[in-house]
Amino acid sequence: MIKSMLPVIVFGAVAVCVSTVLGADTGPEPKPPVRTNKLRVLIVTGGHDFQRKEFFEMFDSQPDITWREVQQPEAQKWFAPDKADSYDVMVWYDMYSQMTEESRKNLEALLKKGKPLVAMHHAAGDYQDWPEAIKVIGAKFNTKPGPTERKPSFKHDVKVPVKIADPQHPITRFMKNFEIEDETYKDMEFLEGTHPLLTTDEPTSDRVIAWTHTYHKSPVVYIQLGHDAKAYTNPNLRRLIAQSIRSVAGRLPDPSREGFVQLLNGKDFTGWTIVGDPKGFWFTDGVLRSESGKGGQWMRTNRTYRDFILRVEWRIGKDGNSGVFVRAAAEGYPWETGSEIQISNEPRDIAHCTGSLYGTAAVDPRPDETADIWHMFEIHCRGYHYKVFADNIPIVDVDAKTIPALAAKPLEGYIGVQDSHNRTSYVEYRGIWVKELTPMSSDKEPAWRVGTQAYTFNRFTFFEAVDKAQSIGLKYIEAYPGQRLSPGLGRAKFDHDMAADLRQTTKTKLAEAGIRLVNYGVVGLGKDEASARKVFDFAKDMGIETIVSEPEPGTFDMLDKLTQEYGINVAIHNHPKPSRYWNPDTVLEAIKGTNPRIGACADTGHWIRSGLDPIECLKKLEGRIISLHLKDLNEKAMTAHDVHWGEGVANMKGILAELKRQGFKGVFSAEYEHNWENNLPDVAASAKNFEQMAKELGMD
């Protein structure tokens, strides 16, 4: 938190400021937010004794994990379909040979569906008579070796030097080589093709002692370590097990940079504004540096961001104090107008230490705050949901709506970094990357927003279309260019050439009707940047979140830049065959390598007219669907016409089920192209059918 920015300190605040400067946070130790959506872990034991208290403490120490122990042979009942949905990850710490035929079939079916598995230590001795066991785990401690097979050995209380075999894997990322006192295994039988995570040169051990691979669809990690309390209490093993569970469950950041844009170029301040003395920040060998007493205060991006993933590499000196700002305003104190993710090398409490959302969300667990070494934050801001990973460990995961002070923060603002202040220290940044996410609907909006394309009412004016939408309870509208604006405004049309007074009149009309203008299209964006910017400037002024278009080839590099600069989506619309984007494969090829703000406006009716299955098209476009022109048709033909949603050939409930599976959060625009003079009752009936189908799918 910035203290050097305060121009005046009144007498009553002196004690607070001094205590903050000294790092002495007063009052009782704050509590971290209660974690929701915990990982449910099924721990399978039996067939081998172990020190239970210390073993289960490894899992109790992880705030995002809840667990249940099941012992063999009863544990095998939990492989059955009626039990499998009650847990997310299996951890095998058993050593049990017998398994019924039914249990084997259930287990294989479970793994074929992709149930994640982490196996530990003596679990390599599981199911000796089942040939698939080695394929599942990746190795076998053969307790019944044949005449030509090697007999494995073990040795207790060995000080094992452990090397990180893959320092870039999400599980072992940021881990260092370590030593552990444990039991070693030698001469196990190994499956080829596993990916090593840990190795050792200890002579009583096999070389590879942890790995990952995939069995059918299930991600699997095996960790040879973990015999007794001496191992259980080793912080490196605890980290390894917890990160393995998170990794197989898909709860760790993907280390790739796909979709990320570099914000800090390492040379100059292009794209940034320094708030304070420009001499307070400078670059040395590609690294941004600030030192105490230079007056840099903070620097921010030149544009705002709403939903995104931010990666920041940082290093701080002894007793240093700095931070990263998200969703901050240009004016005022950024830790107040937005949120600060603290960077510190001081004895602070967990609500003010490194990684905390300063003063509002405490960390759990506390991250590594070592001075003079490089660390990394990955910060997720998605709607009211905030996550912070410090060196790849999840330390904050909070719904802001549960914390009033955080819920009051804006959902959009600038990204910034703080100087090194009020200390004889420094802070450095060498990598800042952002990946924008498709914005979530606000807390006051449903996950699925149903509105209408004004083209449905193209026989009427835009203002009349707004009135019609309001009359049937719709709260969202998508405008198209060229529609007459209002009966009382002569020849004025709705488009991006509208004069300022007409824009204001339109905003007033929408506000009075309680209708949000969410999309604009289908509109041409032109081949030159100036014409495209004109549309983006209009969309920004009108509060439009998505421009629907069928862009010219060769314009996507420009659109990739503009969507990020403006924070506005471009959704590619599909007209029927033989139009340019009738096939989703063409859309995918066009948007390849662009940021997630460029995606698809899926017109389900036009897909049917083109002989395509809408559900299969949606599957192809998964992750890149921004909005829909929702249609149901009376037949699968180019000449088909619209019917009420759910009453035609589109398999509307199947479409909605697929969108639910994908986690779609966007706008459904009714574009009812039939019965033009009196189709309001048709749109109302479609909306009612949608509501019922959504309710049946659990989306009400």
For 216-242, the pLDDT digits (tens) are 999 999 999 999 999 999 999 999 999
Provide the token pair at 400.
Answer: 């802001």
Q: Is a pLDDT exceeding 50 seen at residue 6?
A: no
Q: How many CB atoms neighbour CB 614 within 10 A?
A: 26
- Per-position b or e across 668-690, b if 16+ CB within 10 A of its CB: bbbbbbeeeeebbebbbbbbebb
Q: Rounded to the nearest 5 degrees, what angle is found at the Cα of 313, between the Cα atoms of 365 and 366?
A: 10
Q: Report DSSP letters for 94-148, one per residue.
A: -------HHHHHHHHHHHHTT--EEEEGGGGGS-TT-THHHHHHSEE--SS--TT
In a domain, 561, yes or no: yes
Contact (CB, 8 A) for 311 and 432: yes
In a domain, 3, yes or no: no
Q: Is a pLDDT exceeding 80 seen at residue 26?
A: no
- Per-residue model confidence (pLDDT) at position 22: 35
- Per-residue model confidence (pLDDT) at position 424: 85
* Statement to judge: residues 222 and 266 lie in one domain: no
- Per-residue model confidence (pLDDT) at position 9: 29
Contact (CB, 8 A) for 325 and 335: yes
Q: How many CB atoms neighbour CB 467 within 10 A?
A: 15
3-state secondary structure at position 480: coil
Among left, alpha and beta (phi > 0; psi -120 to 50; other), residue 556 is: alpha
Provide the token pair at 30.
Answer: 């704050």
3-state secondary structure at position 213: strand
* Statement to judge: residues 365 and 386 lie in one domain: yes
* Mean pLDDT for the stretch of residues 420-445: 80
Q: Which strand (E) or helix (H) includes residue 337?
A: helix 334-337
Total-model pTM: 0.65
Provide the token pair at 140.
Answer: 């076998």
Residue 360 main-chain phi, psi, to 5 deg: -120, -35
- Per-residue model confidence (pLDDT) at position 700: 65
* Statement to judge: residues 457 and 415 lie in one domain: no
* Mean of per-residue pLDDT scores for the chain: 92
* Statement to judge: residues 176 and 297 lie in one domain: no
Distance separating alpha carbons of residues 588 and 459, to the nearest angstrom: 34
* Statement to judge: residues 204 and 171 lie in one domain: yes
Cβ neighbours of residue 528 closer than 8 Å, sequence gap 6 or more: none
Q: Is a pLDDT exceeding 70 seen at residue 443?
A: no
Q: Is a pLDDT exceeding 50 seen at residue 15?
A: no
* Mean pLDDT for the stretch of residues 85-94: 95
Provide the token pair at 662.
Answer: 């994908």
In a domain, 675, yes or no: yes
Question: Of the spans 110-114, 201-205, 537-541, which averages the highest pLDDT?
Answer: 201-205
* Statement to judge: residues 357 and 237 lie in one domain: no
* Statement to judge: residues 19 and 75 lie in one domain: no
Last residue of a domain, one of 231, 248, 265: 248
Q: How many CB atoms neighbour CB 600 within 10 A?
A: 26
Distance separating alpha carbons of residues 665 and 93, to the nearest angstrom: 40
- Per-residue model confidence (pLDDT) at position 444: 56
- Per-residue model confidence (pLDDT) at position 69: 98
Q: Which strand (E) or helix (H) includes residue 517?
A: strand 516-520
Q: H helices of 650-679, where?
A: 652-662
| Res. 204 pLDDT band, cuts 50 70 90 | very high
- Report how many domains make up the chain: 3
* Mean pLDDT for the stretch of residues 597-605: 96
pLDDT tens digit sequence for 349-398: 999 999 999 999 999 999 999 999 999 999 999 988 999 999 999 999 99
| Res. 439 pLDDT band, cuts 50 70 90 | low
* Mean pLDDT for the stretch of residues 73-100: 94
Distance separating alpha carbons of residues 387 and 379, to the nearest angstrom: 6
Contact (CB, 8 A) for 106 and 82: no
Q: How many CB atoms neighbour CB 360 within 10 A?
A: 23
Choose between 104 and 666: higher pLDDT: 104
- Per-residue model confidence (pLDDT) at position 595: 87
Choose between 565 and 157: higher pLDDT: 157
Q: Which of 246, 245, 225, 137 is nearest to 181 (CA)?
A: 225
* Mean pLDDT for the stretch of residues 115-124: 97
Q: Which domain holds residue 203?
A: 39-248
* Statement to judge: residues 227 and 313 lie in one domain: no
pLDDT tens digit sequence for 235-249: 999 999 999 999 999
CATH number of the domain encompassing residue 605: 3.20.20.150
Distance separating alpha carbons of residues 655 and 327, to the nearest angstrom: 35
Contacts by residues 61-64 (CB-CB < 8 Å, ≥ 24 positions apart): 61/238, 61/365, 62/242, 62/245, 62/365, 63/32, 63/35, 63/364, 63/365, 64/35, 64/38, 64/39, 64/246, 64/251, 64/394, 64/397
In a domain, 69, yes or no: yes
Strand ranges in 272-320 using DSSP code E only, listed in sequence order: 272-275, 282-284, 287-291, 298-305, 308-316
* Statement to judge: residues 496 and 432 lie in one domain: no
* Statement to judge: residues 426 and 497 lie in one domain: no
Minimum mean pLDDT among 1-15, 386-400, 421-435: which range? 1-15
In a domain, 611, yes or no: yes
* Statement to judge: residues 349 and 225 lie in one domain: no
Q: Is a pLDDT exceeding 70 seen at residue 4?
A: no
* Mean pLDDT for the stretch of residues 548-571: 92
CATH number of the domain encompassing residue 156: 3.40.50.880
In a domain, 444, yes or no: no
In a domain, 442, yes or no: no
pLDDT tens digit sequence for 293-322: 888 899 999 999 999 999 999 999 999 999
Percent of the chain clearing pLDDT 70 (strictly above)? 95
Cβ neighbours of residue 374 closer than 8 Å, sequence gap 6 or more: 313, 314, 315, 430
* Statement to judge: residues 581 and 632 lie in one domain: yes
Q: Rounded to the nearest 5 degrees, what angle is found at the Cα of 480, between the Cα atoms of 624 and 675?
A: 100
Contact (CB, 8 A) for 344 and 320: yes
3-state secondary structure at position 223: strand
Last residue of a domain, one of 202, 230, 248: 248
| Res. 37 pLDDT band, cuts 50 70 90 | confident
pLDDT tens digit sequence for 181-192: 999 999 999 999
Cβ neighbours of residue 398 closer than 8 Å, sequence gap 6 or more: 33, 357, 361, 385, 386, 387, 406
Q: Which of 485, 491, 439 is nearest to 461 (CA)?
A: 485
Alpha-carbon distances of 13 from 3, 18, 352, 355, 421, rounded to whole Å: 12, 9, 18, 25, 18
Last residue of a domain, one of 224, 248, 272: 248
Place of tokens 């479609």: 686
Alpha-carbon distances of 422 from 21, 280, 319, rounded to whole Å: 7, 13, 10
In a domain, 146, yes or no: yes
pLDDT tens digit sequence for 55-82: 999 999 999 999 999 999 999 999 999 8
Q: Is a pLDDT exceeding 70 seen at residue 441?
A: no
CATH number of the domain encompassing residue 302: 2.60.120.560
Provide the token pair at 244.
Answer: 């393995």
Q: Is a pLDDT exceeding 60 seen at residue 174?
A: yes
End-to-end Cα spacing for the chain: 41
Q: Which strand (E) or helix (H) includes residue 565?
A: helix 556-566
